[in-house]
Amino acid sequence: MLKEHAMKVKPPRMLAVPFNFGNTLGEANNPSFQHEVLKSAFGLLHNTKGPVLTDFKVETVSDPIVQGSQVKNTSIQNGLSAKDEIKVAMDNYEAWLKQNDARTAVGLSGVHYSKFPEIVEFIVDFVKGRARDCPQKPEGVSVARFLRYCVDDLKAFTFESKMASDRQLNVNELHQWFWIETAVAALIMDLKESMSKHSENDIKAEAFGIAR
């Protein structure tokens, strides 16, 4: 995914692919194309000496995925808070679980999705300086790391609930919708700003890349 890094690390065999993060094998739901990527990667084993660095040749390259800092969030026009959005999305998320045999990217935080409205409340309170800890935080996990895990879970939950109702969205459209139209995204951006200015270094460090 990062050819520049591979050129410095020099792994024995590497296939450089021009796809977005999360799509290492290219287009989702396109197994024949994904098999071509895998064949190209395994084909590098025919080289008897390394390091070998080869580009996967493809006619079209995905547009870069939009990040929160690149767009203006308009969720205030929808009149829903982040907590409201999570509640409204519950049915769609459960539909996603049924459609995909319970496979989900939600789970890093260790908090059940039914408790996500409470997680949103914690994040709101943290941003406003009213909270320093959360009763749902697993033992042994720092507040800084828990915040990042919660953000990852809220993003995955929101993405999957959207995909359950609109399966035609591609990954770029999904990210644009999320960062521009949802209150959850607006809250994540507020959290990033709050964490970036925090006095504790571990919280500052976790702010990097949280709004992507």
What residue type is 171 in one-letter code? V
Confidence of residue 62 (pLDDT cuts 50, 70, 90): low
What are the respective helix, strand and coil percentages of the chain, to the nearest 5?
A: 55, 5, 40
Peptide bond into 51 cis (omega under 30): yes
Percent of the chain with pLDDT strictly greater than 90? 68
In the chain, where are the structural domains located? Answer: 3-55, 68-206
Confidence of residue 60 (pLDDT cuts 50, 70, 90): low
User: What residues contact residue 86 under an 8 Å CB cut-off, 6+ apart?
Assistant: 116, 117, 120, 154, 157, 158, 184
Query: What predicted TM-score, i.e. pTM, was given to this entire model?
Result: 0.76
Residue 23 is predicted with a pLDDT of 77
Percent of the chain with pLDDT strictly greater than 70? 97
How far, in Å, CA of 7 to CA of 28, rounded? 27
Residue 101 is predicted with a pLDDT of 95
pLDDT tens for residues 6-20?
A: 888 888 999 998 887
